[in-house]
Amino acid sequence: MDNKYSHVSKEILEKIEYYRNKGHKVPKLSMIKTPEQIEGIRQSGVINTGVLDAVAQNIKAGMSTEEIDKIVYEYTRDHGAIPAPLHYGGFPKSVCTSINEVVCHGIPNEYEILEEGDIINVDVSTIYNGYYSDASRMFVIGNVKPRVQKLVDVAREALRLGVEQAYPYSFLGNIGYVIQQLAEKNKFSVVRDFCGHGVGLEFHEDPEVEHVGRRNRGMLLVPGMVFTIEPMINMGVPDVFVDEEDGWTVVTEDEKPSAQWEHTIVITEAGNEILTY
Ligand code: MF3
Ligand code: CO
């Protein structure tokens, strides 16, 4: 019968049934995007990548995070898109800028100046034709201590290894597993309080993508699922707190640095495609 999910092939439906019967958590059919929706998210992702490239070309010591916000806002607007963070749940700016011990959701402002030795996560999310994409990168300002550079590099490698585990009939737990293994092997820790997420038709959709996990546990992955992987790796303890003043800024409990990289990906028949390259 024709219905809302008639784009989901018989083969995929049968696989889902098979894994459900074996006791696995399986995706709801609403998590499986149509080819048209995936193309829309892909186009959103192209603009999102353009924003991050524009930031990369301009970021430097002496600049305020407010100036980063301006680059993001103007590039996004000039490409016919909307910055997803702006007014999202009351967030006041177009981008999250998270320096050193700030884990995520830092709010740009004109008094916060980038200094030599800082690391900063710039987290950009774009709405284009109603489709959402989401990605972040770290930027290193001048020379940083070797252990801090290592943190940035391990967080990036953690994302790469996580993406490698995202293929049809793998499980979300495999993504978390490889991220946690790499972080802990390097004597770093993985933030538990914030996760990756489904994305595309809304900013944050199901499923939750944890950055710790166990092999072959957690939700089954099937072609058409679109989600972020965005590991937050801490130099010290994994615990974090939210700044009470602004209600957004997430900071490490021990005030040691944190690093994060993020991509939006789609599960394909062949494996996956990164939509935010
Ligand atoms: N971009 C963040 C993420 O990766 C979400 C930021 S919500 C905001 O999920 F309101 F702070 F922008
Ligand atoms: Co995200």
* CA–CA separation, 236 and 233 (whole Å): 9
Does 18 reside within a domain? no
pLDDT digits (tens, 9 = 90+) for 94-129: 999 999 999 999 999 999 999 999 999 999 999 999
Segments in the chain below pLDDT 70: 1-3
| Per-residue confidence (pLDDT) for residue 2, from 0 to 100 | 52
Which atom of ligand 1 is the closest one to the Cα of 194?
9
* CA–CA separation, 272 and 150 (whole Å): 27
Does 17 reside within a domain? no
Which atom of ligand 1 is the closest one to the Cα of 125?
1
> Rounded to 5 degrees, what are φ and ψ at 271?
155, -100
| Per-residue confidence (pLDDT) for residue 134, from 0 to 100 | 99
- Going by C-alpha positions, the residue among 94, 126, 91 that lies closest to residue 262 is 126
Does 240 reside within a domain? yes
Which residues neighbour 143 within 8 Å (Cβ) at sequence distance 6 or greater?
116, 117
- 208-221 burial: b if 16+ Cβ within 10 Å, else e: ebbbbbeeeebbbb
Residues constituting the chain = 277
Entry pTM: 0.98
Does 192 reside within a domain? yes
| Per-residue confidence (pLDDT) for residue 66, from 0 to 100 | 99
Q: What is the DSSP letter of 208?
A: E
| Per-residue confidence (pLDDT) for residue 1, from 0 to 100 | 45
Domain that holds residue 250: 23-274
* Ranges assigned E (strand) in the chain: 82-83, 96-99, 102-104, 119-128, 131-140, 189-190, 196-198, 205-209, 226-229, 232-234, 240-242, 250-252, 258-260, 263-267, 272-274
Following CA atoms 44, 47, 48, 50 in sequence, which dihedral angle do they give, to the nearest 10 degrees?
A: 160
- Going by C-alpha positions, the residue among 104, 107, 126 that lies closest to residue 200 is 126
Cα dist. 269→42, 45, 166, 236 in Å?
16, 20, 11, 39
CA 118 to centroid of ligand 2, rounded, Å = 22
Which atom of ligand 1 is the closest one to the Cα of 123?
1
Mutation pick for ligand 1 pocket among 88, 191, 206, 248 (CB with most ligand atoms within 8 Å): 88
Does 12 reside within a domain? no
Does 4 reside within a domain? no
**CATH number of residue 241's parent domain:** 3.90.230.10
Rounded to an integer, what is the distance from CA 195 to the centroid of its chain?
8
Does 216 reside within a domain? yes
Does 100 reside within a domain? yes
Domain count for the chain: 1
Q: Which residues line ligand 1 (CB under 6 A)?
A: 85, 88-89, 91, 96, 105, 123, 125, 134, 228, 230, 262
